[in-house]
Amino acid sequence: MSDDTARLGAGRYIDAAHPPDSTVTSVHELTTADGTKVSGVLRVVPGARTVVTLMHPRQDLTHHVLVPELLARGYAVWTQGTRSVNNDTALVHEQALLDAAAGQVFMRESGFENVVTLGHSGGGTLFAFYHHQAALAPGERLTRTPAGRPIDLAGADMPVPDGVIFMAPHPGQGVLLLRLIDPSVVDESDPLAADPELNPFDPVNGFAEPPHSSSYSPEFITRYRAAQRDRIARLDAVARERVQNAADARRRYKSTSDPADRRSALAPRVLTVYRTDADLRFTDLSLSPNERPYGSLFGRRPDLTNYGLVGFGRFATPDAWLSTWSGLSTNANFLRCAPGVAAPTLFVELTGDQACFPEDAKTMVDALGSADRTHVRVAGTHFGGPITDGAPTGASLAAADIGAWLASRFP
Residues of the chain above pLDDT 90, percent: 88
Single residue among 268, 290, 323 that ends a domain in this structure: 323
Same domain? For 204 and 297 the reply is: yes
Same domain? For 95 and 221 the reply is: no
Residue 39: domain span: 3-172+331-409
Measured between alpha carbons, how far is 28 from 285 in angstroms, rounded to an integer? 44
At 1 the pLDDT is 32
Q: What pLDDT, in 10s, does the model give residues 12-66?
A: 556 777 889 999 999 999 999 999 999 999 999 999 999 999 999 999 999 999 9
Same domain? For 344 and 239 the reply is: no
Q: How confident is the model at residue 5 (pLDDT cuts 50, 70, 90)?
A: very low
Q: What pLDDT, in 10s, does the model give residues 118-167?
A: 999 999 999 999 999 999 999 999 999 999 999 999 999 999 999 999 99
Same domain? For 90 and 168 the reply is: yes
Q: Residue range 319-337: average pLDDT?
A: 98
Single residue among 282, 307, 323 that ends a domain in this structure: 323
Measured between alpha carbons, how far is 64 from 40 in angstroms, rounded to an integer? 13
Q: How confident is the model at residue 247 (pLDDT cuts 50, 70, 90)?
A: confident
Single residue among 272, 290, 323 that ends a domain in this structure: 323
Same domain? For 43 and 122 the reply is: yes
Same domain? For 144 and 20 the reply is: yes
Same domain? For 34 and 164 the reply is: yes
Q: What does DSSP assign to residue 280?
A: G
Domain count, the chain: 2
Measured between alpha carbons, how far is 401 from 397 in angstroms, rounded to an integer? 7
Same domain? For 262 and 340 the reply is: no
Same domain? For 317 and 335 the reply is: no
Which stretch of 8-22, 90-104, 395-409 has the lowest confidence by average pLDDT? 8-22
Of 281, 286, 320, 316, the C-alpha closest to 297 is: 281
Residue 381 has pLDDT above 50, yes or no: yes
Q: What pLDDT, in 10s, does the model give residues 207-244?
A: 999 999 999 999 999 999 999 999 999 999 999 999 99
Distances (CA, A) of 175 to 15, 68, 100, 201: 29, 31, 21, 22
Same domain? For 160 and 107 the reply is: yes
At 14 the pLDDT is 64
Q: 3-state SS string over 152-204?
A: CCCCCCCCCCCEEEEECCCCCHHHHHHHHCCCCECCCCCCCCECHHHCCCCHH
Q: What pLDDT, in 10s, does the model give residues 263-301?
A: 887 887 899 999 999 999 999 999 999 999 999 999 999
Same domain? For 221 and 284 the reply is: yes
| Mean predicted lDDT score pLDDT of the chain | 94
Residues of the chain above pLDDT 70, percent: 96
Q: Residue range 309-318: average pLDDT?
A: 94
Same domain? For 241 and 215 the reply is: yes
Any idea what the CATH number is for the domain that residue 26 is in? Answer: 3.40.50.1820
